[in-house]
Structure 1
Amino acid sequence: MPYQNGFELLKLFDKVNFDVIFTTAYEQYALKAIKFNALDYLLKPFGISDLQDALQKYSARKAVKNEQPGVVAPLEMFLQNMKTMQHSIRK
């Protein structure tokens, strides 16, 4: 992104009512991504299994939203984010 980063882009929205998967080569932004409630954080270079995991998280979150519109399971979301962060640290 030539003029701004993903965080700056997200700040332009009054309400972020969509899911975000960050893809970056910089692991130092993982905590900031979690604070933005990112669905996932893929550290480059990432493999196809990492992308598949992120898409499965998206499908699971979408299913929860469809079952209970307007309700997001915050604890489950936090745990998923922590797993992603732990996976990134191992990389």
Structure 2
Amino acid sequence: MTQGQPCHTWVAMAMPLFTLGCEAFTEDQQAFVMDKINKLEASIGSLHVKGIRQALEDVWKLRENLGDHEGTLCASQILIELQYNIILF
């Protein structure tokens, strides 16, 4: 995306959805986020959505493995641990 140009719909919707997903700790919350990701992917067909899905699944798996069931770990630290180059605002 070029500076000053309008962003595509997926860009405008993906980051808030990703941020929400990083803070989803319960199965119900995660299912809600995955439902929205699936709908976003179906409506725009972007490969970037697959990357978002994979990153969230990795975040959730690491949280589970570390026993973080209440979201005490910072999502930014988890993304660093997973070696994702994503900046959360």
TM-score range, shorter chain: 0.3 to 0.5
Higher relative strand content: 1
Q: Name the TM-score, length of structure 2 as normaliser.
A: 0.34
Higher relative helix content: 2
